[in-house]
Amino acid sequence: MKYDIAKALAKSSSRDGPALLFRDTGTAFPLVAGLYGNRKRALIGFEATEATIHKRVLDGIQNPVGPIDFQGSPPCQDVVLQGDDIDLTKLPVPIYSPKDGGPYITAAIIVSENPETGVPDIGNYRLQVQGPKQMGVFSASNHRFGKNIAKAQELGVTLHGAAIIGVDPMTMFSCQVQSGDASNDWYVAGGLRGAPVELAKAIGSDLKIPAWAEFVIEFTVNTDKLEVEGPLGEYTGYYTPASLKPTATVTAITHRKDGIFQGLLTGKPITENHVLKQIPFETSVLQQLQAQFPSISDISINSSGGVQVYIVLAMTPRYEGEAKQAILATMACNLHPKWVIVVEPDIDIRNSAEVEWAMSFRVKPRTDVFVVDGTATAPLDPYTDGPLSSAVGIDATRPFGGDFPDVSEVPGWREFDLPEIESR
């Protein structure tokens, strides 16, 4: 049935279930999806635990490893399709939600370069299949792919791109690391991998692409040819409306001999889309904040907020008012959150019940809750006042330097051995 792939992925995601391989796709290729379906699998990919994950990612970011050229014929070009052989409709691209404007490639890494500086960008952006050789393109104007499109239009040059499907987990996660426009993302990917990414030259341009990818869709962006793109059930859990957007003309499709295509469910949290973003987003923002507030020990950018608008910080304030200063700094980060909550490290920031407990009994709303107006809007937020929004800060730490009742909790229960419960 039309939405069986989406239904299967949604059910598996809701139960922290396994990744799924679909062999009967109506095409010559199988489809794998749900690889990043829950945080537990993400931690396995990083070979880390909750206690070590931020250090693991930070070490990778701070120790970049440059790419190397692949020697010989790259596996991603075992099969090369050009000209009349190009047909996107022969790929297993699902329709995920009933009101989606068409099939969407959601698991691709888009490779492009700044047409002025040549600095490469790799990011996870959506592509709508609009015909055998045409895709609809969308990238927010503040994202690097969107900036590259705008710069190419300004310079009057053609922007080449490549959609990469099927790479190793660390390369996939590196796309979500929040870095500056001047950064070469292949170095970030190499740092997370602890080894260089092997790159090969694309068929129809000078772009460098991962040699071991399963599929590569090469294209040019047409800013002078606009078509209706959308709707799509996005990370907010709501459909983004259809609108005129640039198109992309496919110039080549290459793939491994027995290539496996990849899908990725988007929509109402929690989906694979949110899990993929969460750890890189958390570490990137934590790194920025700790430079100013070393008293911040951890961060949770909740999936329920689309890994965008709802942030919880754990910190031990060094002085009165530091929690509020940390909240304001968080509101200024490039995720543009509308909810920022600060708790102390005794609160499990990934347990909503504990955060709500701190908000219930460690907050005086009159003094500890404040609204900042005129803040930037998170991309695709369906309920804002245009380009600007507002944000709420909540200081749920205990009064600095003041007396507060002791917590009433049974000591040692977490380490207590109770086989009757643990064996279930």
pTM of the predicted structure, to 2 decimals: 0.90
Q: What are phi and psi of 328, to 5 degrees?
A: -65, -40
CB atoms within 10 A of CB 4: 11
Instruction: Name the band, by pLDDT with cuts 50, 70 and 90, for residue 2.
Output: low
The CATH architecture annotation of domain 292-395 reads 3-Layer(aba) Sandwich (3.40)
* Statement: residue 423 has pLDDT above 60: no
Instruction: Name the band, by pLDDT with cuts 50, 70 and 90, for residue 1.
Output: low
**Which pLDDT score, from 0 to 100, does residue 334 have?**
85
List % helix, strand, coil for the chain (3-state, nearest 5): 25, 25, 45
Residue 8 belongs to what H/E stretch?
Answer: helix 4-14
Instruction: Name the band, by pLDDT with cuts 50, 70 and 90, for residue 409.
Output: confident
All structural domains of the chain with their residue ranges: 4-263, 292-395
Cβ atoms of residues 343 and 313 within 8 Å: yes
Q: Average of pLDDT values for 246-263?
A: 97
Highest mean pLDDT (candidates 5-9, 32-36, 164-168): 164-168
Highest mean pLDDT (candidates 73-82, 178-187, 332-341): 73-82
Task: Tell me the one-letter amino acid at 92.
Answer: P
What strand order describes the sheet that includes 208-210?
68-69, 198-201, 208-210
Q: Average of pLDDT values for 147-157?
A: 94
Superfamily for 4-263?
Answer: Electron Transport, Fmn-binding Protein; Chain A (2.30.110.10)
Compute the distance between CA of residue 104 and CA of residue 101 in angstroms, rounded to an integer: 8
Cβ atoms of residues 188 and 179 within 8 Å: yes
* Statement: residue 345 has pLDDT above 70: yes
Q: Which residues contact 415 (CB under 8 A, 6 or more apart)?
A: none
Q: Average of pLDDT values for 153-181?
A: 93
Average pLDDT, the chain: 93
* Statement: residue 101 has pLDDT above 90: yes
Separation in Å, CA 173 to CA 112, 123, 365: 17, 10, 38
Compute the distance between CA of residue 122 and CA of residue 183 in angstroms, rounded to an integer: 10
